Structure 1
Amino acid sequence: MCKGLSSLPSSCLEKAKEMRVRLSHLAETHQKHRGHDGKALHDLDSVLNKKSGLHAFHEFLRSEFSEENLEFWLACEDYRVSSSNMQKTKAGSIYNQFINPEAPKEVNLDAETREAVLSVMDSPCADTFNMAQQRIYTLMAKDSFPRFLRSSHCMEAH
């Protein structure tokens, strides 16, 4: 027969209270990370595809002095949809601004990826920056984005 909560040791009751507080905090946080349209902002794609989310994420990255990652990613998106006669010019600009070791907004790429991009710079095509862009996306998703979700900047995206 059940004797009720009073029969439990006080340490168990305290742990149960802590768990209840944590669960209510998680539920509250989950609600805060939803946009006006009700869609969750828990993944980077949803933030990048929402104007207010993109702006808030950019401001967050600026506050961390790492906005070059998002700017590079956006430049690659623009490059991909550019006409082929504009791609050579834009490829040079992207390389000089973000990939060249002396670039003013150098992104953090491994040597192999940097060399792969350099090797095709003479004849760039639509997917010239795909691998580098994916590396930077992964870096943002694993490193910056979780911190963004915990920041006040994320609340602005709503």
Structure 2
Amino acid sequence: MKKIYLIAVFCIGIVSAQAQKEELKWHTDVKEAMAIGTKENKPLMLFFTGSDWCGWCIRLQKEVFFTPEFTKWANEKVILVELDFPRSVPQSDELRMQNKGLEQAFQVPGYPTVWFATAATKDGKVNFQGLGKTGYVPGGSVAWLEVANGILEQK
């Protein structure tokens, strides 16, 4: 009977720990992300990726974006925007056009590229102010966050 009780308590603890785990919200609609960024006074973190084919993008996500350190940092500092260019995952024409337009506006040379930017709408047009960019940084989340914080501190 004690074993059953201990197992039940252990399972409840695991479920409760998972529920408390912070989660990330990656936006795909830039206008929605801009509105949230303005409301929360946070810059956008624009992640240009080829999610289903780019090895370095997948590595960046695994080594940095999927870590608890990044999750905590991102929830405090930025609004996350994923601008994906997949090869085998279908996208709406609207999303594809939005992503392509931003790729051109930010002159993305390759993937992964991460731009930090603020955005404002003036006279019906969106104006971005690029704060800086990075990509894959060797050394995991600590090294990557050091670069990201350096960019954000310049704003």
For the criterion TM > 0.5, the same-fold answer is no
Larger Rg: 1
Give TM-score scaled by structure 1 length. 0.29
Larger RCO of the pair (alpha carbons < 8 Å, separation 6+)? 1
Give TM-score scaled by structure 2 length. 0.30
